[in-house]
Each structure stands twice: as C-alpha cells, then as structure tokens.
C-alpha cells in the first residue's frame, strides 16, 4: 500500500497502521473509556441530511473563511496535537509546511515536539498555540510572552483536560512519555524496524515548549505526571479572564460544550470558542460538537466565532458544520494518520483531497461561497 492508494480517511488510517508500531498507532487511534464519544463524533454528521439547490451557476468556488481575524483559504485547519515527531520524524514541520502551502491555520501543541520558533520560520501563515494552564502563574505568563514573541496569531486554551482521559489502549500497551512499554508493546516496536531507524537517526525527541520548565526523563516527570502535578485543576473563569487580558489578542477556549460556558467565554473577552470533546479522548459519553453546534451558534454566534472539531473525515462533514453556523472546522486524526503514513506529502495529499471534496460538494450543493451555506441546506433526521 502506497500514498497514492490513499483516497480517504480509512485508507490513510490503514497505511498509518501498517507503518507505526502498535502502541503509537493506538495512541492516535484510541480514545477514552468505551470510545463511544469517539465513534459518535463522526456518526453525528449522518443525523443531518444536505439539501442541495440546482442551477445556480457554480463554475467558480470560493471556500475561504475568516476566523478569529485570520483569513484562511480553506474552511478547515489542523488542530493542535501532541507528540507529532513520534508519528513521523518531520512532525510539526511537515504539518505546518503542508498547512501553509494550502493557506490554512495549524495549531502547535504545548506538548509539541518542535519549538514554536522553528515552526514560525516556515512562513507567516496563521499559527495557533495550544496552551495548558499551569499552577505556576509565572510560568503561564512566561509562556505567553514567548508565544507572543514568536509571532503566534491565536491563543487556544484547552479547557477539557483538567485531568487526563482514561485511555485504556495506552494502558494495555504501556504507552507513556517517557516510554515505559510492557513486553507486548516492545514486541510491536521490534516488528516495525523502519520506524525505529528513523527515530534514532533524526534529532532526539524533545518537548521544546516545556523543556525549559519541566524535566521529563525516566524516573523524573512523565506526561501523566505533568498533567497531575503541574496543571491547575483549580483553574476558573477569573484566571482565564486575566489570561485573556494579558494576551491582548485573539483568544479562544478549546473544549467548550455548553451554551452557558460559551456565553461566559464571550463575556470575558474571548474572540472564539471551539466546541470539542478532544476527539473523544477525555470525557466519554460527552455530547458531540456537531450535535451542540446549533445551540451555541444561536447563543453567541453573532458576537464571537464558533468553531468545532471532532470526527471530521469528509468534505460533506465540513459543509454540514458550516451550514449549521460554524466559522471553521478543525481536523485531528484526519491529518495525523496521513502524517504517520507519509510525512509532509501525506498531509498535503489529505488536505488536497479534502479541498477537492469540498469544492465538488459545494458545486453539487449549488453554493459558490461559504456565506451561501445555511441551515436551509440541512434537514435533521428524527
């Protein structure tokens, strides 16, 4: 199986499965508890049907959007995800190059394996920084100053990870950072020697957003330890309001689900909210972003940008979210599997395929630009 054999999400996932050691594949593919929310994220798009219009003169399609002050050539972006150099040795650089080439935004995670500064050198395309809130307020301020200095355009504070999700696949393989694999996990790495060769022959694994502040080493701190010891479960609206003021630019909360929280976010000065359940990796049984979209758009959509992520695998998923009122849509695994499958060319191909699907689907829907999409194009199944 080669990259040119990949035509959709399932194909990229399969190629990634063949290339990655089992524990790493399962870290990406897995989710919390029974993974009900993970599955539901994609299924929820099937509860709504598209209603096309015809004979509208659709020879030219403009799918660009403006979200949190950023003009994106595409209505979807690469959501911030951790540890990308474990999935492919080019990691964040591959994703940022592919996103920049296509004129869209990408997020760099606090748990990213490439520094904000190195990613920024790729170009001046819109870059978001995904932030975790630490007990140490001085550390939060220092990290924000660093992000500002490196030219980050949008601050995304993740608010759905006050504690780590119960990822049972990782428990079975022993996946953790630093690695603490069990015998079965080690055997799965031995079966994928190319991954190991690439891992050893490229720059050493590191977490440059945190390295200055957290010493992660066997016997010292693990990512699990970072979550329980350094992040602040007492974080509240007042803390975030201060952070929004301190940042003084586009700021959104990632992981909002309730209407009430979206309203509070708007009140404390956020310019956007991202409806997300972290790809089903945190609270299993949580509502999906797509199911919750209409209610949140109705409540705050005229004042701030409402964005969603979770389960997006097709151009029609993006069109349904935009028709419901989302300003843009984030993708996670839909670019991570392509990254794992083939590095930058993989991500480029995935973005290109998604763009082609959206263009075709917009023509079939009879819409020339995103502003022509509305709930008139949707019927909810009961």
Ligand X SMILES: Cc1cc2nc3c(=O)[nH]c(=O)nc-3n(C[C@H](O)[C@H](O)[C@H](O)COP(=O)(O)O)c2cc1C
Whichever of 52 and 233 has its CB closer to ligand X, that residue is: 233
Whichever of 301 and 330 has its CB closer to ligand X, that residue is: 330
> How far apart, in whole angstroms, are the C-alpha atoms of residue 220 and residue 213?
13
Instruction: Estimate the share of the chain in helix, then strand, then coil, as percent rounded to the nearest 5.
Output: 50, 15, 40
Provide the minimum distance between the beta carbon of 52 and ligand X in the complex, in angstroms, as a whole number: 25
Whichever of 85 and 254 has its CB closer to ligand X, that residue is: 254
34-54 exposure pattern, b = at least 16 Cβ within 10 A, e = fewer: ebebbebbbebbeebebeeee
* Interacting residues with ligand X (CB under 6 A): 27-28, 41, 79-82, 109, 111, 130, 158, 254, 276, 278-279, 281, 309-312, 330-334, 336
Closest CB to ligand X: residue number:
332
Provide the minimum distance between the beta carbon of 202 and ligand X in the complex, in angstroms, as a whole number: 19
Provide the minimum distance between the beta carbon of 139 and ligand X in the complex, in angstroms, as a whole number: 17
Provide the minimum distance between the beta carbon of 27 and ligand X in the complex, in angstroms, as a whole number: 6
Whichever of 40 and 97 has its CB closer to ligand X, that residue is: 40
Q: Is 134 part of the annotated catalytic residue set?
A: no
The two tokens of residue 134 are 């630490």
Nearest C-alpha neighbor of 328 from the set 219, 244, 252: 252
Provide the minimum distance between the beta carbon of 58 and ligand X in the complex, in angstroms, as a whole number: 28
Q: How far apart are the first and last CA of the chain?
A: 40
- Among 202, 278, 317, 382, the active-site one is 278
- Quickly count: other Cβ atoms within 10 Å of residue 303's Cβ: 13
- Quickly count: other Cβ atoms within 10 Å of residue 171's Cβ: 12
Give me the phi and psi of 243, to 5 degrees please: -65, -40
Whichever of 250 and 278 has its CB closer to ligand X, that residue is: 278
Query: DSSP class of residue 368?
Result: S
Close Cβ partners of 138 (under 8 Å, ≥ 6 residues apart): none
Q: List, by residue number, the catalytic residues.
A: 278
């Amino acid at each position: 199986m080669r990259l040119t054999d990949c035509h959709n999400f399932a194909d990229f996932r399969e190629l990634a499965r063949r290339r990655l050691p089992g524990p790493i594949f399962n870290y990406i593919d897995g989710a919390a508890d029974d993974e009900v929310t993970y599955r539901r994220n994609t299924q929820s798009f099937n509860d709504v049907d598209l209603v096309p219009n015809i004979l509208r003169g659709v020879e030219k399609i403009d799918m660009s959007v403006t979200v949190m002050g950023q003009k994106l050539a595409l209505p979807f972006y690469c959501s911030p995800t951790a540890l990308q150099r474990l999935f492919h040795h080019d990691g964040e650089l591959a994703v940022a190059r592919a996103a920049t080439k296509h004129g869209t935004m990408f997020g760099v995670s606090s748990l990213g394996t490439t520094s904000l500064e190195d990613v920024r050198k790729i170009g001046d395309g819109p870059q978001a920084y995904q932030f975790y809130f630490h007990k140490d307020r001085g550390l939060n301020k220092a990290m924000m100053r660093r992000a500002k200095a490196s030219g980050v355009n949008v601050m995304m504070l993740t608010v759905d990870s006050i504690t780590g999700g119960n990822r049972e696949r990782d428990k079975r393989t022993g996946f953790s950072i630093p690695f603490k694999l069990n015998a079965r996990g080690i055997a799965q790495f031995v079966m994928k020697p190319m991954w190991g060769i690439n891992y050893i022959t490229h720059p050493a694994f590191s977490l440059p957003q945190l390295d200055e502040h957290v010493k992660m080493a066997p016997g010292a701190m693990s990512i699990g330890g970072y979550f329980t010891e350094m992040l602040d479960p007492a974080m509240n609206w007042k803390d975030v309001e201060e952070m929004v003021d301190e940042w003084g630019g586009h700021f959104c909360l990632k992981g909002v689900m309730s209407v009430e929280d979206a309203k509070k976010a708007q009140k404390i000065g956020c310019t956007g909210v991202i409806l997300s359940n972290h790809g089903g990796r945190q609270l299993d049984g949580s509502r999906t972003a797509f199911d919750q979209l209409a209610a949140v758009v109705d409540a705050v959509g005229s004042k701030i940008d409402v964005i969603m992520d979770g389960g997006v695998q097709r151009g029609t998923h993006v069109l349904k979210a935009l028709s419901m009122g989302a300003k843009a849509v984030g993708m996670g695994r839909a670019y991570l599997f392509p990254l794992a499958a083939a590095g930058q060319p993989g991500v480029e191909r995935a973005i290109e395929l998604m763009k082609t699907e959206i263009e075709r689907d917009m023509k079939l829907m009879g819409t020339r630009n995103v502003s022509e999409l509305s709930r008139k194009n949707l019927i909810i199944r009961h």
